[in-house]
Amino acid sequence: MMRPINLKSLGLSYYSTKLPGIGGKIRQTLKDFIVEEISLDNEISYCFKENSEIKLNEPTRYLRLSLEKHGVETLRAIQILASSLKISISRIGFAGMKDKEAITSQFISIKDTDLNIIKNIELGNIYLRNYNYIKSALNIGNLFGNHFRIVIRDLELSTEKIEEVINSIRNEISSGLINYFGQQRFGKIRPISHLVGKALLKGNYEDAVKIYLTKVYPDERIDASNARIELKENWDFEKAINNFPKRLLYEIMMIKSLTKFPNDYRKAFEALPNRLQSMLIYAYQSYIFNKILSKRKEKKIAFSDLRINDFVLILDNQGLPTRAVVSTSEKNLTHLEHLIEINKAVIAAPLIGSQTEIKEDYIRELLKEEEIELKDFNSKILHLNRKGGFRPILFSPLNFKIKKIDLDELNQSKNKIKIDFTLKRGSYATVLLDEIIKNKKLES
């Protein structure tokens, strides 16, 4: 079954399930989408409360704590915290990005800070708790996964039908869902990250800056859309400083650079935080990965049956992918099939980079269509060398539970359902929710 056009444009072309969904809406309130991070040692960063199992220990250079935020993106929350502490954001580490339109709690680390100062900080809709010390900074990927508590509202189906459909879908996905990168990887309101990333890889800073500042999408607030349209028409940076809403912090940073250096688009881009710059390149890699999975589905190549030339990722004791990857041949096929059967390995696809080994013609064709070469991921100008990697092509939710189905207090004569589930790192809740809902658009 094909997905809606807004998702197909991000490479998410196919559903994994054939059954119709239950319909409905998510994120009608922040409390409808709650995310709690799970650390590698299986500690949970709860929302709304302390984790009583986390105890303050002997001090080291790195303080770990929970960062709970309500309606704030991860990078923005870290920027606010760093500003309050009067420190560089480079001293704050984190393991994963979290949704903006949600209530989320995640672990962060801060290098060389005073715990007493941290405890007395007040940051509005950002809350700090669960203090303890660790040996080194948290980095991207230093987590087991996330626990989700989700409310789907505005359901027209009866309680019995809702439960029946969800249980049927759950049975259908028992062998796994296509492990797409979700829409939020690219920007939920303005899915431009991969477009900017591609322009950067091609060395076109001017296009990258213009896409970031002026590309308009229908779901963005009208004041922001108007500011983008006027800037595109007049390219007047002094005027844009006043026109752009103050909440668009990154755009304003770029525009301020352009007021001083009007033709230096590289300098304007480099005004952005380094982490955000990297995320834009990752977004393009993610887009290509989604396209690879969609091409695999289009060509009716099995996702759960191992083939010669498939790549296989070895899993650790927690079932998380390691960096060990094996190419399937006639000699090792039976052995690798056994490892997959006992959950010690998974079939993977490449995250394209400068050193990616490409064995499939359809991937070569895709890169040719995109006008991208492997060498583009190794740029002295961008100071990057994305060597590439691998990612499982399927994922499955853990401990999926229907918690409650009852009347929806926000939508008259409609029902709502509360569900809980856990996902290992690297998989997206919205991909699973889209399978359950199957609206023309996931959110409205």
pLDDT for residue 19: 85
| Confidence label for 174 from pLDDT (cuts 50, 70 and 90) | confident
Catalytic one among 99, 154, 408, 434?
99
pLDDT for residue 184: 87
For 229-257, what is the mean pLDDT?
Answer: 95
Q: Taking 90 as the threshold, does the pLDDT of residue 411 lie above it?
A: yes
pLDDT for residue 284: 95
User: Residues with Cβ < 8 Å from 139, sequence gap 6 or more?
Assistant: 93, 95
Q: Taking 90 as the threshold, does the pLDDT of residue 175 lie above it?
A: no
pLDDT for residue 1: 56
Contacts 24+ apart (CB under 8 A), 38-44: 38/143, 38/144, 38/145, 38/146, 38/147, 38/422, 39/95, 39/107, 39/142, 39/143, 39/144, 40/142, 40/143, 40/144, 40/318, 42/144, 43/107, 44/147
The upper half-sphere exposure of residue 91, i.e. CA atoms within 13 Å in the direction of its Cβ, equals 15
For 179-191, what is the mean pLDDT?
Answer: 92
The pLDDT mean for the chain works out to 93
pLDDT for residue 59: 95
Q: Taking 90 as the threshold, does the pLDDT of residue 127 lie above it?
A: yes
**Cβ proximity of 389 and 338 under 8 Å:** no
pLDDT for residue 444: 32
| Confidence label for 277 from pLDDT (cuts 50, 70 and 90) | confident
User: Residues with Cβ < 8 Å from 369, sequence gap 6 or more?
Assistant: none
Q: Taking 70 as the threshold, does the pLDDT of residue 442 lie above it?
A: no
Q: Taking 80 as the threshold, does the pLDDT of residue 157 lie above it?
A: yes
Q: For 131-153, how does the pLDDT look when each residue is reduced to its tens digit (9 = 90+)?
A: 999 999 999 999 999 999 999 99
**Cβ proximity of 422 and 146 under 8 Å:** yes
Q: Taking 80 as the threshold, does the pLDDT of residue 170 lie above it?
A: yes
Q: Is 99 a catalytic site residue?
A: yes
Walk me through the domains of the chain, giving residue ranges and CATH numbers. Answer: 22-30+146-174+398-437 (3.30.1360), 52-143 (3.30.70.3160), 182-300 (1.10.1510.30)
Q: Taking 60 as the threshold, does the pLDDT of residue 177 lie above it?
A: yes
Q: Taking 90 as the threshold, does the pLDDT of residue 367 lie above it?
A: yes
pLDDT for residue 443: 36
Q: Taking 80 as the threshold, does the pLDDT of residue 324 lie above it?
A: yes
Q: Taking 70 as the threshold, does the pLDDT of residue 380 lie above it?
A: no
In one-letter notation, the amino acid at residue 116 is N
Q: Taking 80 as the threshold, does the pLDDT of residue 5 lie above it?
A: no
| Confidence label for 87 from pLDDT (cuts 50, 70 and 90) | very high
pLDDT for residue 210: 97
Contacts 24+ apart (CB under 8 A), 233-239: 237/262
